[in-house]
Every structure is written in C-alpha cells, then in structure tokens.
Amino acid sequence: MPKKYHIHTKAMPLNLDYVFKYRIKRGVNCINCGRCSKVCIYEAHKRGETDPRKMAEPNTVVCRNCFRCIQECPRGALEKSLDKDFLNIGGTYWKPDMFITLWKQAEDGKVPVTGAGYRGPFTGPGFDGMWTDMSEIVRPTRDGIHGREYINTSVELGRKLNHLTFGEKGELLSKIYDTVDVPIPIIFDVPVDYMSPNMKVALVRAAAELNTFIALPADAVTPDVEKQIGNIIPRFAQQDIEKYEGLIKKARVVALEYGDAPAADLPSIQNKIKAIGKALIIVRVPATKNIADTVLKLTVAGAEIVHVAADYHGKGINGSADSQPRLIKDIIRDVHLKLVENRIRDEVTLICSGGIAMAEHVPKAMICGADLTAVDLPLLIALGARLYEEPEMMLLLPDGIGKIPGRTIKQRIVNLMGAWHSQLLEVMGAMGIREARRLRGETGRAIFFDEIDQETFGQLFKNREA
C-alpha cells in the first residue's frame, strides 16, 4: 500500500485588509470585565497588550459568528453588523460567503467552523443542486480525515485501455500508454494576466510541494520558474510547437490550445509533439455548444487528455443570446455519457474547469464524470482578490500583493489545498469510497435537484406550461 498523501499546513496570516461578513464593535459602556474573552473559544477578544486592564479591539478575523460574546456581555457593549464590502462582492454565482471561506481556508488550512447555524437555501444553480450520498457517515468504519483507514485521492493523467489483447502464446499485444500520477484530483490553471512575478513563482512552488501541476502559457515559463518544469504544464497553440521545443523536451505534460482545426488533424499534431519529447498532451477545448461531440471526435482521434474549460462562473462559452448557457455540471455529464455510450470513456482523461469555487465542487465534478478538476479563481481569492460579477466581470487584487513574500503566498495556497483535500477525504469517507477514481461518473450516489423536481412536479405542471 502506498504511503498516505498528506499536505502540511501551517497558519499563515496575510497582513492585508480583507472582507468580513460582520464587524464587531466594542461600545463605550464596556466595563472591561473580560467576560467576552472567557466565553470566546476562538480568541476574538483579548486584553490589551500595553494595558491589560482594558480590552483590545475585537479581532474579526478569527470570529466564527457564534454570537456567544454578544449574549454573555453583562452590559450589552458588543455589537455585530454586516460589513458593507461583504454585500457588494461576488454576484449570482460567486457568493460573498465563498470569499470568506476561501480566505479562512488559506489562513490555517482547516475546514471553517461557523456557529450561527445553517440558514441558506438547500439548493441552487450548478453544483449547489447536487446532494451526495452520505449514508456511510453513520458506520463505524467511516474514516474521513482521521486516518483510521486508507483513502486514496490520486488520479492518473493519460490514455488508458479498456481491455488488454494477448497473442496465442500469452504475450501482451496491447500498447501500454504512459501515464502520470497526481496525488490530488486538482491542478492549477490561474489566469496569468492577474499574476505578479512573485505570485507566479510562489504558485509554481506550491504546485511542486503538493506534487500537482500548474498550467502556464509557454511564454510565461521564464527562467525563474523553469527549474520546476516537472510540475508545470506549458500551454501553446499548434503554430507555436517549434517555438517551444525546449520546454516540450523538459515537460512531463503539455497543453495544446485546440482551435478550429478538425479532429482528424490531431494525430499529426500529437506526433509532431511526441517527436520532440515524451510529454503527455492535454487538448484544451472551450465548453461550446457541441462540446460532447467535439470531445468524442478528439478521443477517437487519439487524444490522451481533454480539458473542457467553461467560463469563470461555470457556464458554457459562446452560447447564443436567446438561450440559457449550460452549467459545467451538465456539460461534464453530457461529455462523460457520450464517451460511455461509445465505449471509449476509459481511453481518455477528462479535466474540467470553470466554476470550481469550493472544496465540495471537486468531488461533485468527478461524480458528474470528470477525472479531475482545474482550479483558477479560488487561488487568487485566497490571496485577497475580490471578484465582482456585475455589471461585468472584474477581478481586483489587493494593493501590496506584489510585495508579499513568496513563502507566504506559497503556504496560503498549500493551506487552501490542505483544507480542500481534507474535505475530499470527508466526502469520500462518508460515501464509503476509498479510491478517488471510483468517484468518476458515480451519479447513482448523488441526487440532482432538477431531476427530482421534474420527476415530482413535472407532470403536475406540464399542462400549465403548455
């Protein structure tokens, strides 16, 4: 049995002003009794360092909104109010609470704890409309992050065989393809436009520490990161293959930006790349209207790995103005089922990206049919980025991010992935699944709200809709 994969987290505050859901204020009627510091297990309240007779200003960063201090204050001197910035960030998909969750996960690498109770809707668009089967959570064999049993979160990149062929004398006739093992079903795919030089170096080093990959445009693979080429996926277009021969020779995995060329041209393109080096080839395609047919053709043509990229809020790209763009959840299911119907699903590795905003989206994307996911915006949000969806997408990085030490940035990314890995283990343990590969396409272990809604109420309102 291989050694358990473990991510080493370490508390790493970022000294930048950030958004918090609530702001705690201490009123003038505070008598400095210290009752709040005694009842707060998160240490949001402490006595002043210079004058311990007085209480210091509340630390909103560590507050988990349990309201214990508010209830226990004998003078009613504490007040919590919604932060104005909190109400403005995000939009219809990226909810304000997501930003706080990602920030806290990057802070300490732990699953966030809240004490105010669950008050949100039980369903929503995209992955929020999926519920996973947690029936194993009541069994004594449940493992999760506690380490009593072995749970394998690794996946393989590369083309596989759905069967083996042997000769008359028992010799293996099938060609065994090269694969690369990734210990966590997540790679990085950060938009390089938003990365400062220190961020790029830190993200590459974080990918190396986690033993995963980061996809970068080939021209962004500069000498300061090229020594980590084993964890970098250089991305280039077909016409630039010769330009980046040096990188292709060194890389373990490369990504081809696939344009409008017919799938029949893929074998010659791949052969051209394979003649330079031994790297596995990812074919990156946008999640357009006919993406399932496109992926099928590419797989038949010999694609090893296909990366289906949706937009930043998990919707299909280039949808017509009069139609509702499909969500990545449904796109991946269609692609997966199309490959299953044609009996070639095991011959290709499927990566999905776009709208992977929270830790639980990773196993849900895999249940829909992906082998692994590519994460982008959460990595920037962990470093203090703010995203605004309306009236148009705008991503703002905090002032001073270029001066933050690289080791701080790296550790926050490692912390974020540590928290996501822990939650992946929790989901798999509660579902009774011990191999991440078994998550792929396990839709029978999930409930989709739109399907049960249609099954339950579809016939009832059928005539009314007509």
Q: Before 125, cis peptide (omega within 30)?
A: no
Beta bridge partners of 374: 187, 353
DSSP 280: E
Residue 322: pLDDT over 60: no
Let me know if domain 22-82 sits in CATH 3.20.20.60. no
Higher pLDDT, 323 or 290: 290
- In CATH, the number for domain 155-453 is 3.20.20.70
Average pLDDT (364-385) is 95
Q: Where in the chain is the domain with CATH 3.20.20.70?
A: 155-453
426: nearest Cα among 153, 182, 32, 162: 153
Residue 140: pLDDT over 80: no
Residue 461: pLDDT over 80: no
Average pLDDT (349-369) is 95
Q: Please give the pLDDT value at position 369.
A: 96
Percent of the chain with pLDDT over 70: 92
Residue written as tokens 């699944």?
Answer: 433
Average pLDDT (407-429) is 94
Task: Name the band, by pLDDT with cuts 50, 70 and 90, for residue 320.
Answer: very low
Q: Please give the pLDDT value at position 456.
A: 80
Average pLDDT (220-235) is 95
Residue 167: pLDDT over 50: yes
- How many CB atoms sit inside 10 A of residue 232's CB? 27
C-beta separation of 40 from 55 below 8 A: no
Task: Name the band, by pLDDT with cuts 50, 70 and 90, for residue 419.
Answer: very high
Contacts of 22 (CB under 8 A, 6+ apart): 60, 63, 65, 80, 81, 82, 83
Average pLDDT (3-13) is 89
pTM, rounded to two decimals: 0.88
Residue 350 has phi, psi (to 5 degrees) of -110, 120
Query: CA–CA separation, 242 vs 248, rounded Å?
Result: 9
Chain-centroid distance, C-alpha 322: 30
Residue 368: pLDDT over 50: yes
Q: Please give the pLDDT value at position 2.
A: 63
Residue 58: pLDDT over 80: yes
414: nearest Cα among 213, 228, 210: 210
Break the chain down into helix, strand, coil percent, rounded to 5: 40, 15, 45
Amino acid at 188: F
429-456 confidence digits (pLDDT tens): 888 888 999 999 999 989 888 888 888 8
Q: Please give the pLDDT value at position 231.
A: 97
Residue 144: pLDDT over 80: no
Q: Please give the pLDDT value at position 330.
A: 93
